[in-house]
Amino acid sequence: MTRDRGDLDLNLRSEPQLREYRSIYERIVRDRPSRLLDWGCGHGHASDALQRAGVDVVALEYVPDAPEGARSALPYFPNVEAVTTREPVKLPFPDECFDAVLSLGVLEHVPDPEGSVAEIRRVLRPGGRFYVYKLPNRSSYLEKIARLAGLSYHGEREHDTLWTVRSAREALERNGFSVEAARRANMLPLTLAGPVAERLAPLIWRLNGVLERIPGLNVVATNVEAVARRYDPQPPLAGQRNIAPPPSVARRVGAALRPLGLDEGLGKLYDKAPSRQELRDPGTYRQAAALWSDLRAGGWTMLGSRRARALNRLARAAERAGVQGALVDCGTFNGGSAIMMSTGAPNREVWAFDSFEGLPEASSDHDPERAGEWTGELKASEEKVREGFRRFADPARLNVVKGWFQDTFPEAASKILSVAVLHADSDWYDSVRLTLETFYPKVSRGGFVVIDDYNDWEGAKTATDEYRAAHGIDAPLREIDITAVYWQKPR
């Protein structure tokens, strides 16, 4: 648990790198934490800067042969008194004693990253922030150059872990955090010392900021960083058991393979492979998979194959069981999800809701900061929806409702007497909550509710958990893939 890789002295002499450090400290100071743990404080630069900015900082450093709990002033910054620990994972602090924890080039070096994240959550107060910076990006071009040149690189040591935005987000969420922001950072080398680098530092830093925001290009950025808050879900009603789904085999296998860099490739194979239910009817599986392939290639859907096929399968199940009601798709995009449901139950009315103006602003405190980056994104086309139904389904069964949910739901809901399958693909807390409040009472017994973003967007999960708790819904949540879940309304 140390950020000293033998090159920190160069970092402290490099003006471009110091500019990044200052931007990190300014970000933290804006949040005004009253007590912060500098986890793996190294030479103490972060602790010193944050203390000078008025933050109460506890500096902690892992020293295997030092007395547990010993305190000593740091040589580079003698005003910083660091606590030492011999424990690589367990933290020598009581529960819920910090408002914030900083990991600045530390999490990638610890022997048990997941155990360390869980410990950090333990010492954070509810709602406390975990700032994670300088994680090495698995696809970094600079790391590859360093390795080819025989220089020091992340991954050469036993406990080094390489990260992606996705793996960082999932590790945090698995261990009780709500991710506010996660991104790739730094396209240019910043550890450049000397008078020339000092003069060019403003230009280097500005250019670095421009390049790291270019989609596609930033895939090979140097670092991954994230800001997350300790997440404490609302407790269920008295007497109600915890009904959150346990991690599926796929999620556990993916977590095990992630350090080896095998999770993404195998994840694509898993997405297209038949589920256990589909193995019982291979003909229907092949038909649904082929339909999804056409819809994905034609731009009608962004869903993965497994999730799209599940919508088709649940609609078929409702049809076979004689469950009454329409197929309701809230957040239909270009209609692919509605088409998958409609082809499973072709005689049902289909209601497809979307603003067709992109995602609304995420206005709830339950939605992470990163949600703001998506406002107005994913604009779809009403005509594209109708075109898809003309090509793949029955357009006579289609009802397209254009507009924001709060404006369109009241009138449309009065026309929908019952619902057989409800698909909520609306991302944010307010949208998912409004979808459930409007249409769940209309879901027939034996009908299905699919929450598309349950394990992806914290607001969607919180809205679902709160609604289920408030209405005493104890039907088990079942995972479709690593993101979506569904439950069946009891008969």
Angle at 150 between CA 145 and CA 156, to 5 degrees: 90
Q: Do 399 and 350 form a contact (C-beta atoms < 8 A)?
A: yes
Domains 8-230 and 278-488 in one fold: yes
Q: Which are the contacts of 231, defined by CB distance < 8 A and separation ≥ 6?
A: 173, 176, 177, 178, 458
**Cα gap 226→107, rounded to integer Å:** 12
To the nearest 10 degrees (0 to 180), the angle between helices 282-297 and 382-392 is 140
Which ranges of 369-404 does DSSP label H, i.e. alpha helix? 382-392
Where are the domains positioned within the chain? Answer: 8-230, 278-488
* pLDDT number for residue 349: 96
Q: Is 8-230 in CATH node 3.40.50.10540?
A: no
Q: Write down the pLDDT at residue 236.
A: 46
Closest C-alpha to 339, from 416, 398, 402: 398
Q: Which CATH superfamily is domain 278-488 in?
A: Vaccinia Virus protein VP39 (3.40.50.150)
Helix-helix angle 429-439:458-470, to 10 degrees: 30
Contact between 452 and 424 under an 8 Å Cβ cutoff? The reply is yes
Reduced DSSP (H G I as helix, E B as strand, rest coil) percent helix, strand, coil of the chain, to 5: 40, 20, 40
pLDDT per residue as tens, the chain (491 positions)? 444 434 456 777 889 999 999 999 999 999 999 999 999 999 999 999 999 999 999 999 999 888 888 898 998 899 999 999 999 999 999 999 999 999 999 999 999 999 999 999 999 999 899 999 999 999 999 989 988 888 877 777 777 899 999 899 989 988 888 888 899 999 999 988 889 989 999 999 999 999 988 888 989 999 999 999 998 765 544 444 444 555 555 555 555 544 545 545 566 777 788 887 788 889 999 999 999 999 999 999 999 999 999 999 999 999 999 999 999 999 999 999 999 999 999 999 999 999 999 888 887 777 777 777 888 888 999 999 999 999 999 999 999 999 999 999 999 999 999 999 999 998 899 999 999 999 999 999 999 999 998 988 888 999 999 999 888 888 888 889 888 999 999 87
What pTM, to 2 d.p., does this model score?
Answer: 0.53
Distance CA 175, CA 47 (A): 26
Q: Which of 304, 302, 299 is nearest to 288 (CA)?
A: 304
DSSP string of 38-83, one letter each residue: EET-TTSHHHHHHHHTT-EEEEEEE-TTSPTT-EEE-SS-TTPEEE
Return the ∠ at Cα 309 (arms to 304 and 315), rounded to 5°: 135
b/e sequence 355-378, b meaning 16+ C-beta within 10 Å: bbeebbebebebbbebbeebeeee
